[in-house]
Structure 1
Amino acid sequence: MGWDHGYYSSDYYTIGYYREMAPNWLDFAALVKGHRPPRSVEGEPFSYLDLGCGMGFGLCILAALYPEGEFTGVDFLPDHIAHGQWLARRLGLANITFLEADFLDLQHDPSPLRPAAAGATTPGGAAQFHYVAAHGIATWVIEPVQQALFAVAAAALRPGGLFYCSYNTYPGWLPLQAFHQLVKVERQQGAGGDVKGALQRASQRMLTLVGPANEPAVLGLALPTLRAEMEKAPSKDQRYLSQEYANDGWQPVYVADMHQRLMAHKLRPLASATLPELFADLVPTQLQAVVMAEQDPLVRETLLDLGSNKSFRRDIFVNGQLHLNEAQRQQALGRVSVALQAAPPINDYLFPTSFGTLTASQASCAGMEAWLAEAGPCSLEDLAASANLPPEEAIRLTALLLHANRLGLHRGPACEAALASCQPFNAAVIELLLEGAPLAYLASPLIGNGVGFSSIQAMVVQGLEQGMEGELLAVCVQAGLAALGGTIRDAEGQPLEDPAAQLEALQTVAVDLQTTGLPALRRLGVLA
């Protein structure tokens, strides 16, 4: 096995950003579970390590959002590190470092992990970080690399620090285990290095094996969701498919196995960064009887994953828990500040979660949002009082509204420094979008998190600044997208081929951006 340890290294990974990795999001989840977060207040200096940082865009957004932090991204793929370093320079970031390193090497010599402002180090020379993250790494690498990843994370995390680890889980991935096996055999026996060809052949053959939807074959009866997954495969990003299915170490795990592996490194499961999963009473009634009656946490989490057919987890682990009693917890959560993010009026507050769609009180949710729209950002304590809600109910509804991107966690006085960092950063990201870069987020200094923003929106903003409107604006954006090889999609995400339909869709985007999008972006400090 070569330097890549069986990981697919022939191409770079897709560029993404994940809101659950933001420090204030992790802090909120920790508080809900009664743990004192690594930072006592917003704006306090901290250090953050991203193990397996990919192309680096997500970490760059965090560096812009939190100028008081020091960020270190580690990846062993040279393409990823080269891009991350270039991107940080292009975006004008001085508080971020990208390091090309192998987890196996860092396990034996952690000394390269020494950010300038990390503070104390261990006797072995490893920096101690407030936050360590590993998004989409643990179940994509072979077992020795996974163990090295956990060892590095444990050694780098300061006492009381938070380790975010996201990973593929069973039973949700069981149907696609068969597809992965077929891709693996195709590559080994026939396709060789032609990963794209192996993926195409495997998906086509799997469709034949499962049979038609109205008359499924034996495999289709055993794995009824497999056909839909195979039908979606051709429309998915080829880089995603290659990284997902062409790794020798790809292996989803059951939650109990993952938690036991991390506990062997003294990393204790604390919380989920998927906020609805923090509240046991949100579990559907039909699951509560069996799940909540179980006292053992590993068995309980296993039952929950089985009952909800879970396929992905965003777990938070802690290096030594700093317990808060209930009064301290309520007081700390009461001080958390929230702000309206994007909350168009809706009749029903429905929240899709891993264990089904939840329905929340329309009166309570709408009342909270109305108060924030009128009064501006406020503490959870004040928000609960304004809606006449018990504190715990206000915390639970806030978590659901955060999960739905209707609210954001407000950074209070720290917003001012973040604003000075984020607005030039966002201007540089928009320049890259206009050049065709596959980026999809800007930084909001008010909520300490990213907000979605597309290349189409960037072109519309540029056109509006040049005095264009209506059909002229749509025609110019259409031409710009064509020059970049971009795609215009309908509301369901399907590509639009008809030029007239494209223009109509672009005019709708422009109107929406002018009437609601731009005011919201300015309110969130994204644009000046």
Structure 2
Amino acid sequence: MRDWTAGYVADIGYTYGYYPELNPLRARMAFLNAGLVFPEVLVACELGFGQGMSANLHAAASLTQWYGTDFNPSQAGFAQALAAASGSGAKLYDDSFVDFCNRSDLPEFDYIGIHGIWSWISAENQQVIVDFIHRKLKVGGVLYISYNTQPGWAAMVPMRDLLTEHASTLGAEGHGIVQRIDAALEFAEKLIATNPGYARANPSVHERLKQIKGHNRNYLAHEYFNRDWLPIPFSRMAEWLSPAKLDYACSAHYLDHLEALNLTAEQLTLLNEIPDPMFRQTVRDFMVNQQFRRDYWVKGARKLNPLEQVEALRQQKVVLTKSRADVPLKVAGTLGESAMSEAIYLPILDALADHKPKALGQLEQVLKDKGVLFAQIVQALMILTGATHLTAAQDEAATAKARKCTDKLNAHLLQKARGSSDLGFLASPVTGGGVSLGRISQLFLLAVSQGKKQPSDWAQMVWQILASQGQKIIKEGKTLETVEENIAELTAQASTFADKQLAILKAMQIA
């Protein structure tokens, strides 16, 4: 019998995460900052989409036609249900990579996204994907790929191997993956407690093990317990992608673009002395002890001249996605926390505080009397986006066309929130992607959509939903036992939602 799992964990579903790096709109801003031409993305593909949240949020919230596959039929089925609910027309399959990549009914793509799965699949499947990119990614097209990398994983690789060997050889027969994970972690802790030479030589492993124990077991199953699992250095990834004619473009992690946040002066001097840009990436990974890379590649990198770059950046729209008061004037990089200049950031945040999309050229005009230069605006917006306070925005025509699908998808997701906290994102036609929103806030939004006007009414409705399922609010680690306590806490949360979140959700055209 053919093993359709190919060694990949399939007896437990993946988490319902959303990954903004997969959003082509976000990629465009990174390309412009790097001085590179970015294509018009009309057709896109995600390989290994998991539960399909990213693929569906991007398909519903933009005018891009999305394709994709995930070999797990239960996950593909969930993703297809979301696509049907939104009416986006996303074509999502449960094919293996071999079967999907050899389909005869696929178009050429402007954009292909691969989040995480590269590190968990066999070399044979990796070769299938590279061949697919070579054949199906258009000239000028963009690849987003993320993967576990060295040297950040160097110390942990033996421990990962130990955990998976324990799960496969000593895990109780017939027990599910969660119980085998727990047993493997318990054994690893016992081993570390004996103070083995490995732990003495790698003191960071004990702390990493504690962090792993705190993770969601669905995440751990897919992150650590697949048969194939291999962190590779950047240079090896470059070798893999070379036959597909890809050039490295830039990091998809915006804060990587600001070296002052991540490298000392001495490190930056050494890095700038390296003439080869690819080797420079390898050396940089050693400097920051890189564990996970998120990268954009392009089939034929084309540089913008300085005038073209500035003109394109001036047209780029952005929108503030958090309350102005909730944006701290500090940002964390590899070197630790850095303060933002109030003279630069306060005027920018004030200009964006109404949560309406604005082009960088508009901000330039608004801020010209404040002494804020255009280059400072661009850098500040990269930092604010990297810190998740800001995001790129679509033009009004695309937003208006996408609104019909996002309304349908969000209505479906809000109904799901009545019974589960799994789905923590809604679709915004303004940003072309997902916006994070917890279950209780989603239920408040559901109450608003049903015509309830006051926070107290929202709280009553949410309490009825929770109480009917025997659920109660947990506050500061303590379960609230009485009806009065639960309604009082929900009312307080509803008032905060009304004051801080609702206006932003309306600006994002979610509410």
Q: Normalization by structure 2: what TM-score?
A: 0.89
Matched residue, 2:496: 512
CA distance in 1 between counterparts of 2:478 and 2:375 reads: 46
Amino acid at match of 2:48: G
Matched residue, 1:84: 79
Matched residue, 1:28: 29
**Most deviating of 276-285 and 94-103:** 276-285
Matched residue, 1:499: 481
Ranges in structure 1 where 5+ consecutive residues have no aligned partner: 40-44, 115-126
Matched residue, 1:435: 419
Match 2:151 to one of 164, 171, 191: 171
CA distance in 2 between counterparts of 1:354 and 1:429 reads: 36
CA distance in 2 between counterparts of 1:368 and 1:218 reads: 53
| Residues 99-137 of structure 1, C-alpha deviations (whole Å, 9 max, x = no match) | 222223455x3424x2xxxxxxxxxxxx21111001111
Matched residue, 1:398: 381
CA distance in 2 between counterparts of 1:431 and 1:285 reads: 49
Q: From the superposition, tell whether residues 293 and 111 of structure 1 become closer, same or farther in structure 2 (CA, over 3 Å).
A: same
CA distance in 2 between counterparts of 1:503 and 1:175 reads: 49
Determine if the alignment matches structure 1 residue 102 to structure 2 residue 96.
Answer: yes
CA distance in 1 between counterparts of 2:220 and 2:243 reads: 32
Amino acid at match of 2:115: H
Matched residue, 1:57: 53
Q: From the superposition, tell whether residues 193 and 156 of structure 1 become closer, same or farther in structure 2 (CA, over 3 Å).
A: farther
Amino acid at match of 2:38: P
Match 1:477 to one of 457, 462, 475: 462
Determine if the alignment matches structure 1 residue 210 to structure 2 residue 195.
Answer: no
CA distance in 1 between counterparts of 2:472 and 2:235 reads: 42
Contact 2:323 2:353 in 1 (8 A): no
Q: From the superposition, tell whether residues 88 and 449 of structure 1 become closer, same or farther in structure 2 (CA, over 3 Å).
A: closer
List aligned pairs for 1:254-273, cutoff 5 A: 254-273=233-252
Determine if the alignment matches structure 1 residue 184 to structure 2 residue 164.
Answer: yes
3-state secondary structure, aligned to 1:345: helix
Matched residue, 2:408: 424
CA distance in 1 between counterparts of 2:259 and 2:455 reads: 50
3-state secondary structure, aligned to 2:170: helix
Determine if the alignment matches structure 1 residue 345 to structure 2 residue 325.
Answer: yes
Contact 2:248 2:298 in 1 (8 A): yes
CA distance in 2 between counterparts of 1:48 and 1:347 reads: 33
Amino acid at match of 1:111: S
3-state secondary structure, aligned to 1:84: helix
Matched residue, 1:42: none
Contact 1:347 1:362 in 2 (8 A): no
Contact 1:269 1:318 in 2 (8 A): yes
Q: From the superposition, tell whether residues 401 and 72 of structure 1 become closer, same or farther in structure 2 (CA, over 3 Å).
A: same
Matched residue, 1:5: 6
> How far apart are 1:476 and its partner, in Å?
5.7
Q: From the superposition, tell whether residues 281 and 428 of structure 1 become closer, same or farther in structure 2 (CA, over 3 Å).
A: same
CA distance in 1 between counterparts of 2:471 and 2:199 reads: 36
Amino acid at match of 2:429: P
CA RMSD between the two structures: 2.7
Contact 1:69 1:95 in 2 (8 A): no
Q: From the superposition, tell whether residues 356 and 344 of structure 1 become closer, same or farther in structure 2 (CA, over 3 Å).
A: same
CA distance in 1 between counterparts of 2:103 and 2:331 reads: 42
> How far apart are 1:167 and its partner, in Å?
0.9
Matched residue, 1:367: 347
Amino acid at match of 1:54: G
Q: From the superposition, tell whether residues 296 and 488 of structure 1 become closer, same or farther in structure 2 (CA, over 3 Å).
A: farther
Amino acid at match of 1:386: V
Amino acid at match of 2:432: G
3-state secondary structure, aligned to 1:83: helix
Amino acid at match of 2:434: G
CA distance in 2 between counterparts of 1:217 and 1:384 reads: 59
CA distance in 1 between counterparts of 2:419 and 2:243 reads: 47
Amino acid at match of 1:87: L
> How far apart are 1:505 and its partner, in Å?
5.2
Match 2:180 to one of 198, 204, 210: 198
| Residues 268-319 of structure 1, C-alpha deviations (whole Å, 9 max, x = no match) | 1111111121244544325313223222222211222122122111101111
Contact 2:472 2:486 in 1 (8 A): no
Amino acid at match of 1:30: F
Amino acid at match of 2:230: Q
Ranges in structure 2 where 5+ consecutive residues have no aligned partner: none
> How far apart are 1:504 and its partner, in Å?
6.3
Amino acid at match of 1:289: T
Amino acid at match of 1:104: V
Contact 1:333 1:380 in 2 (8 A): yes
Amino acid at match of 1:24: L
Q: From the superposition, tell whether residues 499 and 220 of structure 1 become closer, same or farther in structure 2 (CA, over 3 Å).
A: farther
> How far apart are 1:410 and its partner, in Å?
2.2
3-state secondary structure, aligned to 1:423: helix
Amino acid at match of 2:503: P
Amino acid at match of 1:270: A
Task: Work out the number of aligned pairs and report it.
Answer: 499
Q: From the superposition, tell whether residues 186 and 392 of structure 1 become closer, same or farther in structure 2 (CA, over 3 Å).
A: same
Q: From the superposition, tell whether residues 467 and 407 of structure 1 become closer, same or farther in structure 2 (CA, over 3 Å).
A: closer
Q: From the superposition, tell whether residues 154 and 447 of structure 1 become closer, same or farther in structure 2 (CA, over 3 Å).
A: same
Match 2:202 to one of 219, 223, 226: 223
3-state secondary structure, aligned to 1:6: coil
Contact 1:160 1:321 in 2 (8 A): yes
CA distance in 2 between counterparts of 1:291 and 1:425 reads: 46
> How far apart are 1:443 and its partner, in Å?
1.3
